[in-house]
Amino acid sequence: MIYRVKEPFFFTIFGASGDLAKLKIFPALYSLAEQKRLPKDYFIVGFARTPKERKEFQKEFYDSVKNKIGKDLNKKILRDLVEHVYYFTGKYDQCESYKELKDFLLKLSGGKMHTHIAYFSVPPTVFKPIIKNLGECRRQKTDDIRLVIEKPFGDDSCSAEELYHFISNYFSEDQVYLLDHFLGKAGVQSILHLRQTNRILNLLLKGYEIANIQITAFEDIGIKDRVGYFEEVGIIKDMIQSHLLQILAFTTMSIPLTTKAESLHREKYSILSAINVPKKPENIVLGQYKEYKKEEGVPANSKTDTFAAIKLYIDQEEWFKVPIYLRTGKKLSAKKTNVIVEFKKFPFQNQEEEPNLLKIELSPEENIIIQLVNKYRSGASQYETIATSKSIACSGDYCLPEHGLLLLDVIRKNKCSFLSFREILASWRVTEDILNLISKHKIKVNKYDDGSGGPSLQNKLVQNDGFNWHK
């Protein structure tokens, strides 16, 4: 049954003039309006520092959605949606602004305090003043307020922990939604659903049966106007710390026995906290695309990695010595995200034969593919692979973009598509192990051609173990 929101709500976007808001949040709200999932009364408030007239913000909202949706736009729906959009000029670090915000909201709703979703679309440097003031300057502490905070949560395990404790001075854990937009992707959700509903598949996804797992997230775009951010973080914090480790956890965890978020979080944590980064430097390959230094603002001596391939293990009996390879990079030949599980061969089998594979494609299309090897009846040593493929993309009228789905989940208090703090902390520890290894061994950043498949050294990473990257 399709879920429609019945109760009115306030939705405040902190950092309403930023790219995240324009490219993801406004279009997500449109998708909810288009599918008639929003109630009669709701109030979208852009909170930002720059003074602006409501009309001007409504136009920005309208234009961002129009640009994003393109020719399929339903102008009437967007015009109606924009009627629910307001603007509030405030200072992130001033208590007074938050008191005024509260009065502003109450005025809009005719004095009723509804569920209030506070969306953090601001750089992490301003998280704290917003959290503090939202917490301290609310007049009634019983308000139903929910904070939505996008990754990156913290900059390392220490700052993540510190931020978490900071938040807990003002809000309880159930009020905080820690968001990684990959969890809103239909394909990522399908990994869990396929595993939970198919014993066959789940029996296959046992460490004992698996030769290796390859998780790839390639992008064809470069860093463009995000140089400032990227120079600070690099590809490992940007992509591996949350997105790829989450995919890894979904693929390898024991399936949760209940549909409760705590069950899912517990199983993912069990994997993330057992990840072992091998200590040898040959287990990491780094790269930087050749044109990176020509991007505006990149220092001439930048060693920032825009590509990384890494081998990891999971320290659990079932996964003993099963290599898990992660690789991700920018400015590569195409955008593609996938998980490929390579199954073991029988010891008596010809080891040169193609392996059996389970592939889960997450982007650009969402498919599940099972590839089996068969022997031609005619030839003694001729083999063919039989592939069976099925789309796992959401189809029909009620599919939502990632942020649309995640916003609905905040409203219906479904924490399954959000991260627990323990998972974030465990992921930071893995990230730190990787970064420490890089700095300890001064691992070289290899140049690679724009539009290529990344540095060729990545092949050695898998070949050292007798494998190849699967296409």
The residues pairing with 338 across neighbouring beta strands, listed in sequence order, are 216, 361
| Nearest alpha carbon to residue 277 among 329, 239, 243, 326 | 326
Q: How many CB atoms lie within 10 A of CB 32?
A: 22
| Nearest alpha carbon to residue 241 among 11, 51, 429, 36 | 429
* 181 vs 311 by CB, closer to ligand BG6: 181
In angstroms, give the least distance from the CB of 227 to ligand BG6: 12
| Nearest alpha carbon to residue 275 among 427, 98, 455 | 427
In angstroms, give the least distance from the CB of 142 to ligand BG6: 34
Query: Which 171-210 positions form the footprint of ligand BG6 (CB under 6 A)?
Result: 181
In angstroms, give the least distance from the CB of 313 to ligand BG6: 25
- Asked if 60 is part of the footprint of ligand BG6 (rule: CB under 6 A), the reply reads no
In angstroms, give the least distance from the CB of 322 to ligand BG6: 26
In angstroms, give the least distance from the CB of 245 to ligand BG6: 13
- Count of all residues that appear for the chain in the document: 471
165 included as an active-site residue: no
- Asked if 219 is part of the footprint of ligand BG6 (rule: CB under 6 A), the reply reads yes
Instruction: Spell out the alpha helix ranges (H) of 311-454.
Output: 402-411, 421-441
- The contacts of residue 24 (CB under 8 Å, 6+ apart) are 181, 401, 402, 403
* 89 vs 363 by CB, closer to ligand BG6: 363
* DSSP-based helix, strand, coil % in the chain, nearest 5: 45, 20, 35
End-to-end CA, the chain: 38
- Asked if 305 is part of the footprint of ligand BG6 (rule: CB under 6 A), the reply reads no
* 316 vs 363 by CB, closer to ligand BG6: 363
In angstroms, give the least distance from the CB of 367 to ligand BG6: 16
Query: Distances in Å between the alpha carbon of 184 and those of 18, 27, 131, 334, 408?
Result: 21, 14, 24, 22, 10
Q: How many residues of this chain interact with ligand BG6, rule: CB under 6 A? A: 4
Query: Which 382-411 positions form the footprint of ligand BG6 (CB under 6 A)?
Result: none
Query: Which 221-250 positions form the footprint of ligand BG6 (CB under 6 A)?
Result: 238
In the DSSP assignment, the letter for residue 292 is: G
**What gap in Å lies between CA 212 and CA 130, rounded to an integer?**
44
Query: Which 421-450 positions form the footprint of ligand BG6 (CB under 6 A)?
Result: none
Kindly tell me the burial class for residue 312, based on how many C-beta atoms sit within 10 Å of its own C-beta (0-12, 13-18, 19 or more): buried
In angstroms, give the least distance from the CB of 335 to ligand BG6: 7
Under 8 Å between Cβ of 178 and 419: yes
Under 8 Å between Cβ of 124 and 19: no
* 363 vs 452 by CB, closer to ligand BG6: 363
**What gap in Å lies between CA 92 and CA 15, rounded to an integer?**
9
- The contacts of residue 247 (CB under 8 Å, 6+ apart) are 182, 188, 191, 215, 217, 339, 362
Query: Which 339-368 positions form the footprint of ligand BG6 (CB under 6 A)?
Result: 363
In the DSSP assignment, the letter for residue 355 is: P
* 283 vs 306 by CB, closer to ligand BG6: 306
Nearest residue to ligand BG6 on Cβ basis: 238
Under 8 Å between Cβ of 105 and 46: no
* 342 vs 402 by CB, closer to ligand BG6: 402
From 114, 243, 265, 403, the catalytic residue: 243
In angstroms, give the least distance from the CB of 362 to ligand BG6: 8
* 240 vs 410 by CB, closer to ligand BG6: 240
* 46 vs 222 by CB, closer to ligand BG6: 222
Site residues, ligand BG6 (CB under 6 A): 181, 219, 238, 363
User: What amino acid positions are annotated as catalytic residues?
Assistant: 243
